[in-house]
Amino acid sequence: MTDLCELLGIEHPIFLGPFGGLSSVALAAAVSDAGGLGGYGLYGYDGDRIRSTVAALRAATSRPFAVNIWLPTGDEVAPNPQHTVFAQALEPFFEAVGVEVPSRPDRYLPPLDEQLDAIWESAPPVLSTVFGAPSVEIVDEAHSRGIRVVGAATTVTEATALADVGVDVVVATGLEAGGHRVSFLRPPEESLVGTFALIPQVVDAVDVPVIAAGGIADRRGVAAAFALGSSGVQVGTAFLATAESAANDAHRDAIRTTAADATVLTRAMSGRLARGARNRVVRAIEASGTIARFPMQNWLTGQFRAAAGQQNLGELQSLWMGQGAPLARYATAADAFAELLAGVPPRL
């Protein structure tokens, strides 16, 4: 099998999870400079913002990095008159942070073609995708521009679908992982496979390098991932708690104080299933039973979540984190990377 580090031009098989809305150039660059693969989430970014972000990443590090996009699944809801109904249901949260209830926008997300055009122009070293298998045309176009492609799977069937279209690397994501469940062939509630069960089965099913993700936060998790046959690890929560991330103090504190059994899978904040702390806003929205479809719900809550983040109000934010959150004890990205690296077996 192709050597992962040689394939991507990195020294160590440690990936930074790409955070939608919480990525920072500083954190991605720190992981890349340490010899891993820094990741940056481009969720919601239009073409101009993608170009400027890739330029900023290039200015911050001379090493390879990855940018991540969400593929459309076909069931996204467009702005419609129901927007007002769901916006008004969230009115108490807008009032709590002192912002007006938002009116209906022209669009919730930029089209995929706009994002891809910017990516092709910017040519980042690595493109990663979630919520689907990229088309063969996308993979071929990336390869023609020298861009490696990484896909994310939550089941063995999804992993084989990714390998079939020619991705270079598969990230196998166990149910322990924080943030959105990126399932795409079956509902996420029917795709909840734990990391220990998922990794060896994916390794057996595909002939490309497999990266383990979900619940990995220290050298023990890294060593276990390699014992299961993975070629590397992707870590999110442990890096999200460090000083270089875009998380605020309330989010970092929540990561360090939330027990492994206190996270929850919920659709409350975005309309899609995601793992995070069950704080006040999650409890209230779940109790209301009024949750818009994606991306309407994500756009709406995003309007008060942004203000809550600026005000350091953790109870009104999306406190995404995985079940390994209590292990996220590192002040800096360098500290986290050094601990993870200690679990990587010597290369033969």
Please report, for the domain that includes residue 122, its CATH number.
3.20.20.70
Q: Is residue 178 part of a domain?
A: yes
Q: Is residue 91 part of a domain?
A: no
Count, residues in the chain: 348
Nearest to 256 by CA among 270, 241, 246, 245: 241
Q: What is the pLDDT of residue 347?
A: 78
Q: Is residue 154 part of a domain?
A: yes
Buried b (16+ CB within 10 A) or exposed e, 26-39: bbbbbbbbbebbbb
Check whether 348 has a pLDDT greater than 70.
no
Q: Is residue 275 part of a domain?
A: no
Q: What is the pLDDT of residue 2?
A: 80
Nearest to 298 by CA among 21, 61, 2, 5: 21
Q: For 68-123, how does the pLDDT look when each residue is reduced to its tens digit (9 = 90+)?
A: 999 999 999 999 999 999 999 999 999 999 999 999 999 999 999 999 999 999 99
Q: Is residue 348 part of a domain?
A: no
Q: Alpha-carbon torsion 107, 77, 322, 342, what sign?
A: negative
Domain of residue 132 covers 4-74+109-257+324-341
Whether 178 and 321 have beta carbons less than 8 Å apart is answered as: yes
Check whether 4 has a pLDDT greater than 80.
yes
Under the banding of pLDDT at 50, 70 and 90, the label for residue 190 is very high
Give strand ranges (E) for the chain. Answer: 14-16, 38-41, 65-70, 126-130, 148-153, 169-173, 179-180, 210-213, 232-235, 263-266, 274-277
Q: Is residue 314 part of a domain?
A: no
Give me the percent of the chain exceeding a pLDDT of 70.
99
How many CA atoms does the CB half-sphere of 162 hold within 13 Å?
35
Number of folded domains in the chain?
1
Q: Does pTM top 0.85 for this prediction? A: yes
Check whether 203 has a pLDDT greater than 90.
yes
Cα separation, 200 vs 210, whole angstroms: 9
Averaged pLDDT score across all residues of the chain: 97
Q: Is residue 220 part of a domain?
A: yes
Check whether 46 has a pLDDT greater than 80.
yes
Q: Is residue 20 part of a domain?
A: yes
Cα separation, 27 vs 209, whole angstroms: 24
